[in-house]
């Protein structure tokens, strides 16, 4: 019974967070389109801070039609995936974030860029990186060894998903548990202290 209640509360929090984000979307984007600079402001990301590169990659992944804007339907679809998608769908979306040039492969440089952004964001928010002694390059090397099954120096979607599902550490590094609700709440907390 306690677990069912906990699930209901989690869903209520999700619905409340979605409602808050909708209100914020409509307020900040009356045109119905969200541009990159607005996306960063929406989630409280400093344009030059640790999370800026990370936010740009997320923006690109949210922008499903590639028009350099996010309309409300793209926004809702992405949030639905974040809140309710199964692991494979979340990994597919994460792959799009990692694949910066959208060529269907994640190379070492793309992997290093995202891992570096993740490390900087976690350091900035004082979130544990699980292995503080592991450098960005060490993490990239460990992921490549675990995931690049054909040894070509690039990770395709299939390798990305299969590798993440086989190794819990790799899964933790590759899946991007984007929690917009947490970002909104953190932004509210920051603005309340100023």
User: If we measure between CA atoms, which residue out of 173, 183, 38, 150 comes closest to residue 98?
Assistant: 173
Residue 9's pLDDT is what?
40
Q: What per-residue confidence (pLDDT) applies to 159? A: 96
For the segment 80-106, what is each residue's pLDDT rounded down to a tens digit?
776 677 888 888 888 888 898 889 999
CATH class of the domain defined by 2-193? mainly alpha
Confidence band (pLDDT; 50, 70, 90) for 129? very low
Predicted TM-score (pTM) of the model is: 0.66
pLDDT at residue 7 above 70?
A: no
Domain ranges of the chain: 2-193
pLDDT of residue 82: 65
What residues contact residue 187 under an 8 Å CB cut-off, 6+ apart? 43, 44
Token duo for residue 129: 């990186």
- Strand ranges in 54-136 using DSSP code E only, listed in sequence order: 70-71, 105-107
Burial classification of residue 59, based on how many CB atoms lie within 10 Å of its CB (0-12 exposed, 13-18 middle, 19 or more buried): buried
């Amino acid at each position: 019974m306690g677990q069912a209640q906990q699930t209901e509360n989690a869903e209520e929090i999700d619905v409340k967070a979605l409602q808050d984000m909708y209100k914020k979307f409509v307020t900040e984007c009356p045109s119905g389109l969200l541009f990159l600079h607005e996306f960063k402001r929406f989630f409280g990301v400093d344009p030059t801070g640790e999370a800026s590169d990370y936010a740009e990659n997320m923006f690109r992944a949210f922008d499903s039609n590639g028009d350099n804007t996010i309309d409300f339907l793209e926004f809702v679809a992405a949030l639905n995936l974040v809140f309710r998608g199964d692991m494979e769908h979340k990994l597919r979306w994460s792959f799009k974030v990692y694949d910066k040039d959208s060529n269907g492969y994640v190379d070492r440089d793309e992997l290093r860029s995202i891992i570096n952004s993740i490390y900087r964001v976690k350091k900035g928010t004082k979130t544990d990186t699980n292995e503080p002694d592991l450098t960005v390059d060490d993490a990239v090397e460990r992921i490549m060894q675990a995931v690049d099954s054909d040894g070509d120096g690039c990770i395709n979607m299939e390798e990305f998903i299969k590798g993440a599902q086989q190794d819990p550490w790799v899964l933790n590094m590759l899946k991007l548990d984007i929690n917009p609700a947490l970002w909104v709440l953190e932004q509210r907390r920051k603005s309340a202290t100023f």
